[in-house]
Amino acid sequence: MVHIRFSRAEFDALEMAARSADMTVSAFVRSLAMEGAGVLPFLAEGDRAVFGLLADGIRAIGGNLNQISRAINTGKVPDEGDLTGSIKDAHGVTTALASELAELTRRAAARRRGEGA
């Protein structure tokens, strides 16, 4: 048994988070503590691989946007296709990232409730 002190505002926020996860406060805190201690992995191996690929995509987009910015700063007009392509790439990667984060959140909530994700 562990005793933890929370301020009233902290405990209210904790109760609300536990309720939204459809869990008791004890089960919610226990699941967070186990993840934080590394006993339960926060990200599965597949999640790490997907987020690694998305991070690579974000780095590549950043490089492209940096080159476009340098061209503009030196008075060169970037090719319209380069601009359009970079914007489409950024949109695609951010959309995929948002989708992966939403799915990760859904699975984590299900796992905390003891459901099969």
Q: pLDDT, tens digit, for every residue of 61-83?
A: 999 889 999 999 999 988 888 88
Task: Give the global pTM.
Answer: 0.58
Give the H/E segment covering residue 63. helix 45-73
Q: What does the chain come to in residues?
A: 117
**Total H helices, total E strands in the chain:** 4, 0
Distance CA 22, CA 14 (A): 12
Give 88's Cβ-side CA count (13 Å radius). Answer: 6
Positive or negative: CA dihedral 12, 13, 19, 23: negative
Sorting pLDDT into bands at 50, 70 and 90, what band is 39?
low
What is the per-residue pLDDT for 104? 83
